[in-house]
Structure 1
Amino acid sequence: MIPVAASAPLAVHAAATTAADNNPVLNISIFGAFVAVTLFIVIRASRNNKTAADYYAAGRSFTGPQNGFAIAGDYLSAASFLGIVGAIALNGYDGFLYSIGFLVAWLVALLLVAELMRNTGKFTMADVLSFRLKERPVRMAAAITTLAVCFFYLLAQMAGAGGLVSLLLGIHEQIGQSIVVVVVGVLMIVYVLIGGMKGTTWVQIVKAFLLIGGAIVMTIWVLAINGFSLNTLLESAVAASTTDPKDAILGPGLQYGKNPWDFISLAIALVLGTAGLPHVLMRFYTVPTAKEARRSVVWAIWLIGLFYLLTLVLGYGAGALVTPDVIRAAPGGVNSAAPLLAQALGGPLLLGFISAVAFATILAVVAGLTITAAASFAHDIYANVVKKGKVEPDAEVKVARRTVIVIGVLAILGGIGVQGQNVAFLVALAFAVAASANLPTILYSLYWRKFTTRGAVWSMYGGLAAAIILIVLSPVFWGTETSVFKNVGTAIWPLNNPGIVSIPLGFFLGWLGSVTSTRKEDPRKAAEMDVRSLTGYGAEKAVEH
């Protein structure tokens, strides 16, 4: 499976087990300081959480730059940070292609969905999809795909948090790791219950500063060791390489030369899935205007782009200073590269800081996912499907808060259940579902006037089913050393990611459902959606209503 989405619980095992001078007291002190500061921020931010707009969209009070930092904090997950550095350390050029894919994905989000979603929606993705279609079936389908994406993403992050903290604190027993997962889950519930979107956004902003700041410090350190010469760094990485020939890490094909279809399938899912990730789309509603939504995505692109450029230096730096053999031999494998590099550069202090940043990353991401899932259930299913829109805003927020607790408990139980397993399929599934089910429906709704309710429902359910079925039949589950069921059975579907089939299928089903519909949609609503999405006219009035 690809390193970028690889098993987060193992991500820092090497750092915990190979560092004789690893200091659990120092690590937990750094963790505790971060938790205390962010809890203070969340409590301060929660004082004005009175309406649904306050709880779901932070009262639309954030500026473009602030929201850009929050998007970066939401998007740069621990799996990406740890996995991409490891991928570059071992596979060089092919590993850096992940960084390029993630960054290009933001151009798709900026050009195709950011401003139009902000103009048309209110709180959730389903607001846009149901604007001119039959509301109840479309909201139900959108809520189900949103909950699926969020839940699988949550499982991966929860398991990652448990493994990260447990291993850095020297906790190796299953029950001890389970207790850590519970603590992380409770923290997540507290953050979202108290702070809502406003508190979550400030946590993401702080986390973005920490992660990008930590990466900049490590990058400057690595470059200083190599005389601030990228050429010297690459020569050092080639010298430490275990490939044949050694300079193979500077060219393409090392990882995907044998099966380029696997890389193409994954790349399609990552590039297109980002524009359909519900927790990213929800961030567009926390700004007051469409102009600020555009600014926030531009800021996010610059910040995320800077970070992924830094991974090039960090990855080759880990290959040169830690060496591929040490990384591979570490219990965490490829994902141990970043913490091992931190340990090699700055000893236990830098290791503790980078690990705390990774922990902060997980907390910020799970908080964003949880509030997205809660908003989808409370706003789409409860308020608009069950109550048919006849619900008081405070009642909706109460349901959202209760949903947070339920989702938190399920995430805790799921995180305990997948401890020690390869949870890569959870991250891959989240992106595949977003690209297969959500994005076709979003693009058709925004750009095709003849799109119908049947097309939307077929596209979302069909894309969701195709992605899940193909992943269950793939090597992610069966037949290899890294499969969920290790060395058991044989994979029917040969690729690790279903995107190359499930995404075109989602688009095809949306088209087929629309052209075969006997009931056509109201052309006046389609025209209104066009005007609103392109100009923003009427959007603010709808939001206030």
Structure 2
Amino acid sequence: MSARTTLRGAACIATLVALPTVVLAAGGDLGTAEKQPTNWTAITMFALFVVGTLFITKWAASKTKSAADFYTAGGGITGFQNGLAIAGDYMSAASFLGISAAVMASGYDGLIYSIGFLVGWPVITFLMAERLRNLGKFTFADVAAFRFAQTPVRIFAASGTLVVVAFYLIAQMVGAGQLIKLLFGLDYWIAVAIVGGLMMVYVLFGGMTATTWVQIIKACLLLGGATFIAFMVMLKYGFSPEGLFGSAVEIKTQIATEAGDAPDVAAQKGFSIMGPGTFIKDPISAISFGMALMFGTAGLPHILMRFFTVPSAKEARKSVMWATGWIGYFYLLTFIIGFGAITFVLTDPAFLDAKGALIGGNNMAAVHLAKAVGGNVFLGFISAVAFATILAVVAGLTLSGASAVSHDLYSTVIKAGKADSASELRVSRITTVALGVLAVLLGIVFEKQNIAFMVSLAFAIAASANFPVLFMSVLWKDCTTRGAVIGGFLGLISSVGLTVLSPSVWEATLGNPVGSAPFPYTSPALFSVTIGFVGIWLFSALDHSARARIDRAGFAAQQVRSETGIGASEASGH
């Protein structure tokens, strides 16, 4: 087996299977993955998960009577519970499988994703969490529009939310279909329809309460499964990281030698997994990639929405503390799992096909490792957890999209804030069905497409549109309605436009010749985030309208409310 082929294939799969911010290379699509034999153990365990969560949904439905219950679980989620739910929202099956594949392929370089995912959380902890809880009610638009003209800001916020949700949702649905085709042996369209149907049930009947508990259960299962795999890997080496890394280097060297490389070249390739340099080639790509990771996290609507489910700003801070801890722990586990895949999976012919490649593709490294350390039963467990993970993420995304339509557009813009709770709830449920059907249809349509650009685009848009508006509206007293809306739309449009013009779409998806992409970098964040911030500053500074004077005068009251919480509980309805 060629080491070079292994590295290239794993890098492609890692970008494709949906590391939410993998924006460095465009791989092939998953549409060519072959359907595997039906895994009845996995299906049985998944059925148990579904039955259990449906009972939770039934219980949640009895508690979901108002819009506040539907959107934010009535603000009754504790900081610890919300932290686990946020972690559940953030730790996707794609992260679990994709990071493991990246580490298996390139060693330490794969750790850049694990670290990058964490960098955004201090921003949320110190700048966002408390202010979001004190200023907001149901969506991040409540915060952005606190002192501004409601209609234009909410139209922008809903636009940004729906675009992010749409691309993230399509990517999750396509990923779900392909993963389940591999894991369960089901047809692609059946897998997509099952995910869409279950997601609609969770959101329609249980709202945020059911979604939260599905995410908590999924997070516990995923953390437990990953912990067991990492424990068994380290047990083999007497809990010595040096022993694990040394064995991995030897195996990589051996693979290169068997591929025909000279001894010194093979040794160099073996040791290359212990250093950087494979993924990020130049400083601009590194900075742009980092900005997408960091600011994208702080602009994802389904993550921001979770801060309105807790009763106080103190619990919001506690949520972030717990979430950061669980997420950090999880990504360290994926690092061990990636190296474990080198030592357990790449050396076992049972996991390799006739050509010496990993069965099912490199994205299955963690799943094969689960079988290697725990047998068929544990393989079934991990397979079911992977499916459950996608379900939970999709439910959270759908809920944030539904709230943008019903709360921001229908209640605030169309009904000018006079909509009653029942009608707002009805619109939200109609939107949920529409988003669910759309997600299933688009998931089927995009089966053969490269989905890497969709997930990377979701993060780039969140970083370029939502985050600058949120940040500037809360922290800059001279920000105005005109500046926020124009700057926000500039960030939104530029992030989409530059991504389409980048190699990952222009060449890999649209089929243009290699090297012909008008925009040379696959991540637009460095440029589009800058455009968003500069646009907000420039158009606010040039705004001398009567509305601008009102916007600036309202900053003092906003600052008091955001930092003290005075009036927050009454306004939020919690």
TM-score by length of 1: 0.94
**1:179 matches 2:190:** yes
Match of 1:318 in 2: 341
Tell me by how many angstroms 1:375 deviates.
0.5
Match of 1:7 in 2: 17
Which of 189, 197, 201 is equivalent to 1:190?
Answer: 201
Which of 478, 485, 495 is equivalent to 1:467?
Answer: 495
CA separation in 2, counterparts of 1:334 and 1:516? 53
Match of 2:402 in 1: 374
CA separation in 1, counterparts of 2:173 and 2:394? 8
Match of 1:458 in 2: 486
| Inter-CA distance 406–14: structure 2 relative to 1 (3 Å threshold) | closer
SS in 2 for 1:108: helix
Gaps of 5+ in 1: none
Match of 1:248 in 2: 272
| Inter-CA distance 349–263: structure 2 relative to 1 (3 Å threshold) | farther
Tell me by how many angstroms 1:383 deviates.
0.5
Question: Is the CA contact (8 Å cut-off) linking 1:49 and 1:196 kept in structure 2?
Answer: yes
Give CA-to-partner distance per residue, 1:341-373, whole Å, 9 cap, x none: 112222322222111111111000000000100
Match of 1:278 in 2: 301
Give CA-to-partner distance per residue, 1:83-136, whole Å, 9 cap, x none: 111111111111101100101211111111111111001100110111111110
Match of 1:477 in 2: 505
Question: Is the CA contact (8 Å cut-off) linking 2:226 and 2:333 kept in structure 1?
Answer: yes
**1:435 matches 2:451:** no
Which of 47, 55, 66 is equivalent to 1:51?
Answer: 66
Question: Which aligned pairs between 1:298-313 and structure 2 lie closer than 5 A?
Answer: 298-313=321-336
| Inter-CA distance 260–336: structure 2 relative to 1 (3 Å threshold) | farther
Give CA-to-partner distance per residue, 1:278-315, whole Å, 9 cap, x none: 00000000000000000011000111111111111111
**1:357 matches 2:385:** yes
Match of 1:530 in 2: 559
Question: Is the CA contact (8 Å cut-off) linking 1:10 and 1:163 kept in structure 2?
Answer: no
CA separation in 1, counterparts of 2:460 and 2:117? 14
Question: Is the CA contact (8 Å cut-off) linking 2:156 and 2:485 kept in structure 1?
Answer: yes
CA separation in 2, counterparts of 1:500 and 1:193? 38
**1:73 matches 2:88:** yes
Match of 1:420 in 2: 448
The one-letter code of the counterpart of 1:443 is F
CA separation in 1, counterparts of 2:435 and 2:62? 24
Question: Which aligned pairs between 1:39-118 and structure 2 lie closer than 5 A?
Answer: 39-118=54-133
CA separation in 1, counterparts of 2:34 and 2:193? 23
**1:200 matches 2:211:** yes
| Inter-CA distance 395–82: structure 2 relative to 1 (3 Å threshold) | same
Match of 1:167 in 2: 182
Match of 1:508 in 2: 534
Tell me by how many angstroms 1:477 deviates.
1.3
CA separation in 2, counterparts of 1:456 and 1:346? 53
Question: Is the CA contact (8 Å cut-off) linking 2:457 and 2:499 kept in structure 1?
Answer: yes
CA separation in 2, counterparts of 1:154 and 1:471? 18
Tell me by how many angstroms 1:226 deviates.
1.5
Which of 421, 425, 428 is equivalent to 1:397?
Answer: 425
Moved more, 207-216 or 468-477: 468-477
CA separation in 2, counterparts of 1:115 and 1:407? 30
| Inter-CA distance 521–211: structure 2 relative to 1 (3 Å threshold) | farther
CA separation in 2, counterparts of 1:197 and 1:157? 19
CA separation in 1, counterparts of 2:568 and 2:31? 46
The one-letter code of the counterpart of 1:178 is W
Match of 1:287 in 2: 310
Match of 1:544 in 2: 573
Question: Is the CA contact (8 Å cut-off) linking 2:80 and 2:322 kept in structure 1?
Answer: yes
CA separation in 2, counterparts of 1:526 and 1:4? 44
Tell me by how many angstroms 1:169 deviates.
2.6
Match of 2:143 in 1: 128
CA separation in 2, counterparts of 1:180 and 1:10? 17
CA separation in 2, counterparts of 1:286 and 1:317? 38
Question: Is the CA contact (8 Å cut-off) linking 2:38 and 2:185 kept in structure 1?
Answer: no
The one-letter code of the counterpart of 1:375 is S
The one-letter code of the counterpart of 2:212 is T
| Inter-CA distance 131–387: structure 2 relative to 1 (3 Å threshold) | same
SS in 1 for 2:520: coil
Match of 1:215 in 2: 226
Equivalent residues, number: 533
Question: Is the CA contact (8 Å cut-off) linking 1:13 and 1:332 kept in structure 2?
Answer: no
CA separation in 1, counterparts of 2:60 and 2:99? 33
**1:263 matches 2:286:** yes
CA separation in 2, counterparts of 1:399 and 1:333? 42
Match of 2:521 in 1: 495
Question: Is the CA contact (8 Å cut-off) linking 1:89 and 1:315 kept in structure 2?
Answer: yes
Tell me by how many angstroms 1:486 deviates.
4.8
Moved more, 316-325 or 37-46: 316-325
CA separation in 2, counterparts of 1:209 and 1:385? 39
Question: Is the CA contact (8 Å cut-off) linking 2:296 and 2:461 kept in structure 1?
Answer: yes
Moved more, 342-351 or 140-149: 342-351
The one-letter code of the counterpart of 2:308 is Y
The one-letter code of the counterpart of 1:503 is V
Moved more, 206-215 or 29-38: 29-38
CA separation in 2, counterparts of 1:484 and 1:341? 32
Give CA-to-partner distance per residue, 1:375-411, whole Å, 9 cap, x none: 0100000001111111111110010000000011111
The one-letter code of the counterpart of 1:529 is Q
SS in 2 for 1:518: coil
SS in 2 for 1:252: coil
Give CA-to-partner distance per residue, 1:429-457, whole Å, 9 cap, x none: 11000000011111101110100111111
CA separation in 2, counterparts of 1:145 and 1:318? 39
Match of 2:21 in 1: none
CA separation in 1, counterparts of 2:234 and 2:34? 22
Tell me by how many angstroms 1:267 deviates.
1.6
CA separation in 1, counterparts of 2:556 and 2:502? 43
